[in-house]
Amino acid sequence: MTPQDYEYLREFLKQRSGLVLSNDKQYLIESRLLPVARKGGLSSISELVAKLRTATVGPLASDTVEAMTTNESFFFRDKTPFDHFKDVMLPALMEARARQNKIRIWCAAASTGQEPYSLAMILKELGLKVATCRFDIIGTDLSREVLERAKAGTYSQFEVQRGLPVQLLLKYFTQKGETWEIAPLIRSMVQYRTMNLLESFASVGQFDIVFIRNVLIYFDQPTKIDILERVARQMAPDGYMVLGAAETVVGLTDAFKPVPGARGLYQRNLDKDSAARPALSALGARRIGATVA
């Protein structure tokens, strides 16, 4: 792979997915894109680049982008955001939505589905405490391949051992050979759609809760700002946004403000004169109470 090939791929990936590669990631390109090249009948990265220069859209271009995206995910990852979901977001939103009886949740960069399925299991465990409300959970990702895996709801022994409490494994999964299949009841609670975070969010509608964790770290600052501000426009005035442990809105946008006492949890930063319902603090929210860990 020539330096010119690498620079082309860096720009191509940034434009198509927002991924920013530093100057020393040639090894990553080689390891992830050589299989893509060979699948397309090409013998080298240079041949792949030559093909992309003449066909910037199509299966080869999509496969190139998908191969470079990171799809790391596991059940109840980092635990704290799921505690906030149960103890902070649900009590506040169910009280505020007493008439509508509907809460919409968006898991952006949902990967193979562990995050949205974790939320679905929490709701199922809460049972009658949330039975008066309808929940729509939407999982989106750039990669069609990982979304197909998410829709199938089938996981390896290694995947179900990462963060999933054993009582939930036994309750909501069925072992089939060397894999575990999530219960149709849980799988039916989540819908999946292909979505590029660089493109418009208008098609997914408005949400009360947005999980967009561990994905902004791969973007440059202008892209982070753009995504965060577009997410804000898709949220209810009293909605919640959840970021990853290493992510923040500080220095990027004033569209959100932290929820006091709840690390990684944010709400829309409304004007003081707004008629919208004021944010509940994490410390002041009443608890619903369910054990998931």
Place of tokens 């069925």: 174
Give yes or no: 32 in active site: yes
Name the active-site residue from 10, 32, 149, 230: 32
Spell out the domains of the chain, with CATH numbers in brackets: 3-68 (1.10.155.10), 80-268 (3.40.50.150)
Greatest alpha-carbon span in the chain: 62
3-state secondary structure of 38: helix
What pLDDT digit, counting tens, does each position of 22-66 carry? Answer: 787 788 888 888 888 888 888 888 888 898 888 767 788 888 887
pLDDT, average across residues 227-235:
95
DSSP secondary structure of 110-166: -TTSHHHHHHHHHHHHHGGGGTTSEEEEEEEES-HHHHHHHHHTEEEHHHHTSS--H
87, 141, 208, 238: the active-site residue: 141
Predicted pLDDT of residue 224: 93
141 as an active site residue: the answer is yes
Is the confidence at residue 266, as pLDDT, over 90? Answer: yes
User: With a threshold of 0.75, does the pTM exceed it?
Assistant: yes
The position carrying tokens 């299989």 is 35
What is the rounded distance in angstroms from the CA atom of residue 44 to the CA atom of residue 28?
Answer: 14
Is the pLDDT at 105 greater than 50, yes or no?
yes
pLDDT tens across 147-201, in order? Answer: 999 999 999 999 999 899 999 999 999 999 999 999 999 999 999 999 999 999 9
Compute the distance between CA of residue 90 and CA of residue 105 in angstroms, rounded to an integer.
11
